[in-house]
Amino acid sequence: MAGKMTSEERVLRVLARGEPDRVPHFEWSIDRKVRAALAPDTRTLNEFADRMGLDAVLAGPDFWKKPAGAGLWLTEWGYTLQDSEEEHGVEVHSPIQTLDDLRRYTPPDPRAPGRYAAVERTLAEYGGRKAVIVHLNDVFSIPRYLMGYENLLMAVAGDPELVAALVDLSVEINLAMAREVAARGVRIVYTGDDFAGDTGPLMSPESFRRLFAPGLRRVIGGFRDLGLRVIKHTDGMLWPIIDMVVDSGIDCLDPIDPVAGMDLAEVKARFGSRIALKGNVDCSHLMTRGTPDQVAEATRRALRQGAPGGGFILSSSNSIHSSVKPENYLAMLRTLEESGGYPLAL
């Protein structure tokens, strides 16, 4: 059995597909209402993660946004966000519709003064103790924000030249940001670009292969060349494109979405020798409507399927959003504490 590890050591061991002292856990988002119910005197996600013994804290480059109307925010990228019930907004206006728009567009400077202030603060407070994971993007989210979701998907068929140019922009700016965070001592990044919905990929496998997979290989390869470990998040039913995602060079795939038909045991059997896995307790239905006992059983099932041999991070199937019952998240944490140590005794 491995000796007692720091959270950073534990997560890095898993990302190298090894077996740590216990299965690590962290989430990309935990809604403020859940945080307030379980640790009311914590103000931020990272304070909550530290208090509750989670294994990672999160940071990202700083981009400004300013008020643009009732519940509206103009971002530094030029798109406008509308407030939502969650802690993140929804884009409602985007600056690029044509190649001419893109030629006139100037993205944020990845080397602007103060761009990495939050990253630097997080490293100073938690580095060496918690895994500090920085949120970047790969090839879909920035094109989506700059064009709008529906317009981008229509352009995949109608204007592939524009899509390819936006993918190139996303690759270049994220590699520039990766160089900056790696130089500051960051060791792990994650990308949150979703490629699929509940019934399948957002575009045909051939369109993904032609327009997105080459950029994905380039940006993930660039991250790896900088010595960064890479966790790739994408919801949805990935089976038609999962080989291309794994072949890009990622270290870990998240969240193996059970509602979309992604079976953790099957993904572990097919790809567990090549990548680590993170997931996959259902937060869409089970953690919102189920009981703590049901969540505990789902947690044990995820551990049985994902944890043998190492290379596994326990988490929800997306995030601990505003509809998750606090007692259900607590049931997941307690079950992990009881059952997540190596050697496994499930």
For residue 249, is it within any domain?
yes
Same domain flag for 220 and 269: no
Same domain flag for 241 and 268: no
Average pLDDT over residues 28-52: 97
Predicted local distance difference test score (pLDDT) of residue 56: 98
For residue 327, is it within any domain?
yes
Same domain flag for 200 and 232: yes
For residue 15, is it within any domain?
yes
Closest listed residue to residue 133, CA positions, set 27, 226, 289: 27
Per-residue pLDDT of 289-313, as tens digits, reads 999 999 999 999 999 999 999 999 9
Same domain flag for 99 and 228: yes
For residue 68, is it within any domain?
no
Closest listed residue to residue 282, CA positions, set 241, 323, 310, 250: 323
Same domain flag for 100 and 247: yes
For residue 225, is it within any domain?
yes
Question: What are phi and psi for residue 142, nearest 5 degrees?
Answer: -65, -45
What average pLDDT does the structure give for the chain?
A: 97
Per-residue pLDDT of 99-142, as tens digits, reads 999 999 999 999 999 999 999 999 999 999 999 999 999 999 99
Give the residue numbers spanning the domain of 212: 55-62+94-254
CA–CA distance from 141 to each of 84, 137, 138, 170, 191 (Å)?
A: 18, 7, 7, 8, 9
Query: In the chain, how many domains are there?
Result: 2
**Tokens in use for 194?**
């979703």
Domain closes at, from 254, 269, 297: 254
Closest listed residue to residue 304, CA positions, set 272, 271, 345: 345
Same domain flag for 290 and 245: no
Domain closes at, from 254, 270, 298: 254
